[in-house]
């Protein structure tokens, strides 16, 4: 989590000694948060699937749903399962948008939102989805 470094504080210097750095190494994990930007609230009940992408192969790892806070009750990819590579989160937003009454047209403008991204090092990867009936955005959060 912290690089080995030298500070002006002698107490911190002992904490950051090279031999202590191994113990402080952060392990990787993945989380998300879905926010309904049209209504200004968390998006509850959205089905999310996680896939690992290896070449042309898409391996399904897990299916979860967002809770009342727009998050999942557990880490999407916990520390024990973390591996660097390419992943895809698939958000099934259409049913949520229908249920909220925000978008009722057929066919839906937005239905399934796939986000493909890479995780290269053991760290916390937070991939939020900001959702509205006619658009979405994402970023690497913290």
125 labeled part of a ligand binding site: no
Cis peptide before 49 (omega within 30 of 0): no
Asked if 71 and 126 touch (Cβ cutoff 8 Å), the reply is: no
Closest listed residue to residue 43, CA positions, set 52, 53, 51, 34? 34
Tokens of residue 49, six digits: 């699937």
Measure CA 127 to chain center: 3
139 labeled part of a ligand binding site: yes
- 3-class secondary-structure state, position 80: helix
Tokens of residue 18, six digits: 């090279």
124 labeled part of a ligand binding site: no
Binding positions for substrate are 33, 71, 139
Annotated binding-site residue numbers: 33, 71, 139
């Amino acid at each position: 989590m912290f690089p080995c470094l030298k500070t002006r504080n002698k107490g911190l210097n002992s904490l950051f000694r090279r031999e202590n750095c191994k113990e402080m190494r952060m392990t990787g994990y993945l989380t998300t948060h879905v926010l309904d930007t049209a209504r200004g609230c968390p998006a509850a009940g959205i089905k999310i699937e996680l896939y690992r992408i290896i070449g042309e192969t898409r391996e399904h790892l897990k299916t979860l749903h967002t809770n009342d806070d727009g998050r999942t009750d557990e880490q999407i990819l916990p520390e024990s399962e973390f591996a660097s590579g390419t992943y895809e989160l698939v958000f099934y937003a259409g049913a949520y948008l229908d249920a909220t009454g925000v978008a009722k047209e057929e066919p839906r403008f937005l239905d399934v939102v796939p986000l493909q991204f890479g995780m290269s090092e053991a760290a916390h990867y937070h991939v939020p989805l900001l959702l509205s009936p006619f658009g979405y955005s994402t970023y690497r959060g913290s």
